Homo-oligomer: A and B are copies of this chain.
Amino acid sequence: MKITSVPIQELGNNAYLLAVPEAGEVVAIDPPRDIDLLMEAIEATGLRLSWTLETHVHNDFVSGCRELVAVSGAKLGASAEADLHYPWERLQDGQELVIGPYRLRVLATPGHTPEHVSYLLIDESGNPMTLFSGGSLMVGTAARPDLLGPADSWRLASELRRSLQDKLLKLPDQVQVLPTHAGGSFCATGTGGEPSTTIGKERSGNPLALVADDTEFAAIALAQKPYPLYFDRMRSLNQLGAPLIGRHLPKPNRLNVDEFETWLARGAAILDLRPGHAVLRGHLPNSYAVGVDGSHSSWVGWLISPERPLLLVSDDQTQESESVLQLARIGYDRIVGVLDGGVDAWVAAKRPLRHFGGSKARELEQRLRAGERVIVVDVRESYEWFGGHVPGSVNLPLHEVTHGADGLPRGPELAVHCGHLYRGVLGASLLEQLGYDHLTVIEDGFDGWAKLHDRAGVAR
């Protein structure tokens, strides 16, 4: 028996493969929509994929279960309450799937979502070995119970507490815990870099383990950060079933400048996949600066409608394939092409480039102290801004720029920044689309400012 974790890095998730040679079977748990890597790993075992299981209806990515079923004939297992609109094995609390000498026991663990289940791997002697906990138990935390909206969050928080405290943490100390959500996932806060844990460690160290009162538990479990807008579409998309894309992701068409402009005229959005510094120096007008060196798909899913055709601009094909992969994972399939030859081809065709001024926090401070008319626009989230910010800065969180920039005057220079660089460049690119044309990006962001000032000179 062997368990392999398959990280989905940009989402902070892990899928799992449980290979049981004695049974000739492999079981997949929470697979992503791009199944090629999983299938390669399965094929390398020489075993047959018998089950592809969901711990829950995912909010952050398109499930790959139906893709795996389509290429392998595996059975799709999910909670009986998952309300899927395609065939699935309706798993009940306590039900056991027999995998050769092992069993996978289904444990109803509602909270992160109402239909959430965990899978407990039990060995031939009846000893619980490993818990595939999804989001119901994570390293030092649990996944947020607020993703179905504020009207259901208290009920789900209460269910999460009971799933966690009355069910999962009653398992034996030595049971290994393999969560689907890990560090970097928008589905949780408060988890670190460790991918796995044990019941014993969590029972003594998880802050959510000790709070017996529902209100106190809610105060911790519902203290969450904003999450990408596309999350609100994922649950129903996963229940209805996203379009099947097959084992291999499509390669985007390569477009010449004229073809590219034809799509622009049809309302396509330009995704600039390059690093922020390259975007600063020159980019196609009205691009989204969503480089693949940052939370690419999260920001695309936060800022751009899934109906909108997408055009890619990149330095190289590595960036393109990373974008196609990440966007497929969140159900963005409308990539209509990539600019052949990139920015160089655009310039060679005598099309205009835009650029942003680049500056450091130290220069910004000198200019502010000299009384220059510069508006500092801080595109970090409000909770970051309230933790400390450049004095006098306007807080306009990145996901609110497009609808919330009304109050910013048109004349003066806007010096845009985030913590470091990524969101600052993206924020400037959004402001450019709104018609602001005097844009500077503070390249070292608030990190740079805070280094100059420690505490003094940082407004709270």
**A457 proximal to B (CB < 8 A):** yes
A96-154 contacts to B, CB under 8 A, are 146, 149-154
**A40 proximal to B (CB < 8 A):** no
- Shortest CB-to-CB span from A220 to chain B, Å, is 8
Bound-complex Cα distance A180 to B345 (A): 63
What are 10 A-B interface contacts by the 8 Å CB criterion? Answer: A149-B409, A150-B394, A154-B369, A154-B374, A155-B373, A213-B456, A214-B369, A215-B368, A216-B457, A218-B392
Question: Would B375 and A218 count as touching, CB distance under 8 A?
Answer: no
Which residue of chain B has the shortest Cβ distance to A383 in the bound complex? B386
Bound-complex Cα distance A219 to B383 (A): 18
- Shortest CB-to-CB span from A188 to chain B, Å, is 15
Q: Write out, one digit per residue, whether chain A residues 367-382 have a CB within 8 A of any chain B CB (1) or not (0).
A: 0110111111000001
- Tell me which residues across on chain B come within 8 A of A94, comparing CB atoms: none
- Shortest CB-to-CB span from A379 to chain B, Å, is 14
Given contacts A365-B215, A371-B158, contact A459 B152 (CB under 8 A): no
Interface size class of A (residues with CB under 8 A): 35 or more
Question: Would A457 and B155 count as touching, CB distance under 8 A?
Answer: no
Which residue of chain B has the shortest Cβ distance to A388 in the bound complex? B219
- Tell me which residues across on chain B come within 8 A of A459, comparing CB atoms: 218-220, 222-223
Given contacts A223-B391, A382-B382, contact A151 B373 (CB under 8 A): yes
Q: A151-B412, A222-B391 are in contact. List 17 more A-B contacts (CB 8 A).
A: A146-B392, A149-B409, A150-B376, A150-B392, A150-B394, A151-B374, A151-B409, A152-B373, A157-B392, A213-B456, A216-B457, A218-B368, A218-B392, A218-B457, A219-B458, A221-B391, A382-B386
- Shortest CB-to-CB span from A203 to chain B, Å, is 21
**A453 proximal to B (CB < 8 A):** yes
- Tell me which residues across on chain B come within 8 A of A146, comparing CB atoms: 392
Number of copies of this chain that the complex holds: 2
Bound-complex Cα distance A42 to B271 (A): 69
Bound-complex Cα distance A215 to B450 (A): 12
Question: Would B371 and A457 count as touching, CB distance under 8 A?
Answer: no
Bound-complex Cα distance A374 to B155 (A): 10
Question: Would B150 and A456 count as touching, CB distance under 8 A?
Answer: no
Question: Would A371 and B215 count as touching, CB distance under 8 A?
Answer: no
- Tell me which residues across on chain B come within 8 A of A453, comparing CB atoms: 215
**A248 proximal to B (CB < 8 A):** no
Which residue of chain B has the shortest Cβ distance to A369 in the bound complex? B214
**A460 proximal to B (CB < 8 A):** yes
Bound-complex Cα distance A172 to B154 (A): 61
A60-77 contacts to B, CB under 8 A, are none
Bound-complex Cα distance A409 to B214 (A): 24
Bound-complex Cα distance A219 to B372 (A): 17
Bound-complex Cα distance A383 to B216 (A): 22
- Tell me which residues across on chain B come within 8 A of A220, comparing CB atoms: 459
Question: Would B213 and A457 count as touching, CB distance under 8 A?
Answer: yes
Bound-complex Cα distance A146 to B393 (A): 11
Question: Would B155 and A392 count as touching, CB distance under 8 A?
Answer: no
- Shortest CB-to-CB span from A400 to chain B, Å, is 9
- Shortest CB-to-CB span from A213 to chain B, Å, is 7
- Tell me which residues across on chain B come within 8 A of A149, comparing CB atoms: 375, 409
- Tell me which residues across on chain B come within 8 A of A383, comparing CB atoms: 386
Question: Would B219 and A457 count as touching, CB distance under 8 A?
Answer: yes
Which residue of chain B has the shortest Cβ distance to A365 in the bound complex? B215
Q: Write out, one digit per residue, whether chain A residues 383-418 have a CB within 8 A of any chain B CB (1) or not (0).
A: 100100001111000000000000001011000000
Given contacts A382-B382, A459-B223, contact A218 B373 (CB under 8 A): no
A239-253 contacts to B, CB under 8 A, are none
Question: Would B456 and A216 count as touching, CB distance under 8 A?
Answer: yes
Partner of A457, one of B151, B152, B215, B386: B215
Bound-complex Cα distance A386 to B387 (A): 10
Bound-complex Cα distance A157 to B370 (A): 11
Question: Would B215 and A392 count as touching, CB distance under 8 A?
Answer: no
